[in-house]
Structure 1
Amino acid sequence: MLRYRLALPWVTALAVLAGCADDTTSPVVADAPPASAVGAATPGVTAAPPSGSPTAENVPPTLAFKAKTLNGTEFDGATLAGKPAVLWFWAPWCPTCAGQAKGVKATAEQLAGKVNVIGVGGLDDEAAMQRFVTEWKLDGMPHLSDQAGTVWKRFGVTAQSTFVLLDSTGVVVHKGVFSGEDLLGRAGKLT
């Protein structure tokens, strides 16, 4: 019990600093950020495959990264090329994120094969992230384990929950917050 009382001020401070976002509006990003703005030199995120590989010539700079999934496999951002994508940046202790989970799951299921939906968990350890995925039954879609925040930094995300919507060419068309229920309509417009 004492351990939890001592941890509560820290959790509260982290929530305030990290900003468990509840703003439902955000401007549309008209152009893709330049390669330097999307983390070309971000530690822990590696570049896309060398130019001799089959996917390298079609990979936009925004998708030229690799990260680890919660199940321990390597995820290559290049696999998102050619199809619209939704990146959902979440934290396991965020009540806004929990409230969006149902809408994110429905979007992933209803737009399967048309839009890639990827969760990017952060701001906690992998065990907490895995519990969140299990509790909200989100295991039908990939989730990146971004404890170091490298993917978050790559896309300029500073608060959870944030959605980054990319068109099929890798251009960021929206970055911000809205409800999980609104996600299906917004992501559907990308197809």
Structure 2
Amino acid sequence: MSETAPVASPASAGASDVPAVPLDPAAVVTPLPVFSSTTLEGEPVTQADYEGKPTIIWFWAPWCSVCRSEAPTLSKVASELGGSVDVVGVAALGSIDEMKTFVSDTGIENFTQLADPDAQVWGVFGVASQPAFAFISADGSIEIVQGSIDAQEILERAAALS
């Protein structure tokens, strides 16, 4: 990706009516971009933790109503995948406390959640609003999908990552 789009703020977010569409095919990136973050519990995480592993990254914000309604789907998907594909949430544009409350309220404790309060991880993936997904294959190719998608589509995309 040659350029990072601006990140949506709570005031400008309107992702609920945005259909899920892949970004321009030129936005598919290889290799995995360099990033570092921490989990909501403060454990360090970098791209090296996911290199060579099929991974789904879900980009969300704690104030996003679409993300809130989508969260149980991601929890179900993570359980169904059973570790064959890593599922990771990247929360931005809120405080750590708001992120932790969202995780607790929506029951998504069963997969890793990264804190990205300033949307730096979002930026390296070119994500401009939420929800969004990065589907990362074992060979490091990435497809970014902007918008909400259902469990069946997530599982179909996950099956293609290995």
- Identify whether the pair has TM-score above 0.5, normalized to the shorter chain: yes
- State the TM-score, normalized to the length of structure 1: 0.72
2:80 aligned with 1:141, yes or no? no
Q: Is the Cα contact below 8 Å between 1:85 and 1:165 reproduced in 2?
A: yes
Structure with higher helix content:
1
2:17 aligned with 1:18, yes or no? no
Specify every segment of 5 or more residues in structure 1 that has no aligned partner in the other structure, as ranges.
1-12, 35-59
Q: Taking CA–CA contacts closer than 8 Å with sequence separation of 6 or more, which of the two structures ends up with the larger relative contact order?
A: 2
Q: What is the CA distance between 1:123 and its match in structure 2?
A: 0.9
2:68 aligned with 1:131, yes or no? no
RMSD in angstroms over aligned alpha carbons? 2.1
Equivalent residue number for residue 88 of structure 1: 58
In 2, Cα distance between the equivalents of 1:118 and 1:22? 24
The correspondence for 1:185, drawn from 153, 156, 162, is 156
The correspondence for 1:152, drawn from 104, 122, 135, is 122
Q: What is the CA distance between 1:103 and its match in structure 2?
A: 1.1
In 1, Cα distance between the equivalents of 2:22 and 2:32? 22
- State the TM-score, normalized to the length of structure 2: 0.83
Specify every segment of 5 or more residues in structure 2 that has no aligned partner in the other structure, as ranges.
1-7
Q: What is the CA distance between 1:174 and its match in structure 2?
A: 3.6
Structure with higher strand content:
2
Runs of 4 or more, structure 1, over 4 Å off, are none
In 1, Cα distance between the equivalents of 2:150 and 2:74? 6
* Distance of aligned partners of 1:131 and 1:180 in 2 relative to their CA distance in 1, 3 Å threshold: farther
SS of aligned partner of 1:15: coil
Alignment size in residue pairs: 153
2:73 aligned with 1:78, yes or no? no
SS of aligned partner of 2:158: helix
In 2, Cα distance between the equivalents of 1:86 and 1:155? 12
In 2, Cα distance between the equivalents of 1:66 and 1:147? 13
In 2, Cα distance between the equivalents of 1:173 and 1:93? 25
* Distance of aligned partners of 1:112 and 1:76 in 2 relative to their CA distance in 1, 3 Å threshold: farther
Q: What is the CA distance between 1:160 and its match in structure 2?
A: 0.8
SS of aligned partner of 1:81: coil
